[in-house]
Amino acid sequence: MSTEKKKGTRVWISAFLSFLACLNVFNAVMLLTLRGNDFIIEFSIVGLKLQIVSVIAYFLVSTITTFVLLGVTFYFMFKGLPADPNVFRRLSKVEASLALSTNMLENMQIGFFRRLEDNEKMTDEVLQKMNISLGEARKETNDALEKQRKALQGVQKENKKNIDIIKKQATEVMGVRKRLEKIEKALSPAKTKLTSKSKLEAVKGVKPRLAQGLKTMGITQVGQFLTTDPAVIAEKTMELHETVTNLQAQAQLLMVPGIDANDAELLVKAGITSRKELADQDPVQLCRVIVNLANSYVEKGKMSANRVPTIDNVWSWIRSAKL
């Protein structure tokens, strides 16, 4: 191969490599513009993978490689040529063009980094404003929540006071209701054990033989029994006059509200044989007699201790007898 052919081959190879290096520079500029300077790339030249580097390093290495390959290309192009002034002028123009390109690349790089710095500064300002806004919003939210919490505490305290008042009022109402029930019970007339239309069997002590004899006489109700002469009843029924009198006295007393069969029997034993006699009694004196009789009944087992009348009971009997 001749020297000229070798020189041409070298020039074409170095020019092709320079072209590839320029493409890498262009690729690096695009990556810097689109991805930013923190982007990582796998650096390669002519398909040869060298190393994983940042985009900035990739840009610098590609730029330096381009200039080196261009220098080598020009070296192979003009090596061995005669020192022609036109050639030197062309070389000067090429060098000036390379210098201009280098300045443009440097200015581009400087402008790019300035834009990056401006973008970072703007981003920092935006983030700072966002942090301030978030802090203010957080503070306002916390203040609102604190106000709501205090308001809820106030409502809870007020509800507790209201509940206490309601409980107190409910207790007072229950007390009033109980007092009203006692008053109503005291004011309402007690029911009588007998009425004039009651059957004779309701009178304690009326035995079946006496009840049959009274029915023969046409006496079937308490009112009829009380209005009939005890002597006539004793004669017709062959019953003792005293027994008939005591039975009539018990029946008459059982028609007084609050007096039961045991109470009527005690009153008859105490000598009380009519409602009028009961109404004229002294409560204290009568209670003494009744209690003594009742205690004797308790001792004999005829009455339980809780059935012994009290002064209140006697007072109630006398008051009812006067009505």
Domain range list for the chain: 3-132, 200-322
Residue 187: the pLDDT is 44
Paired with 49 in beta bridges are: 44
Q: Does the pLDDT at position 10 exceed 70?
A: yes
Q: What is the pLDDT of residue 132?
A: 81
- Give burial (CB, 10 Å; 0-12/13-18/19+) of 128: exposed
Question: What value does the mean pLDDT take over residues 41-57?
Answer: 59
Give the Cα separation of 281 and 259 in Å (integer): 15
Cα 294 from Cα 288, distance rounded (Å): 10
pLDDT of residue 226: 87
The number of CA neighbours under 13 Å toward the Cβ of 316 is 18
Tokens of 196: 């004039």
pTM score, whole prediction:
0.41
Query: What's the confidence (pLDDT) of residue 43?
Result: 52
According to DSSP, residue 205 is labeled: T
32 vs 63, higher pLDDT: 63
Do 203 and 194 touch, CB atoms closer than 8 A? yes
54-61: long-range contacts (C-beta < 8 A, 24 or more apart)? 55/28, 55/31, 56/32, 58/24, 58/28, 58/31, 59/25, 59/28, 59/29, 59/31, 59/32, 59/109
Q: Between residues 130 and 190, which one has the greater pLDDT?
A: 130
**Between 182 and 54, the higher pLDDT residue:** 54
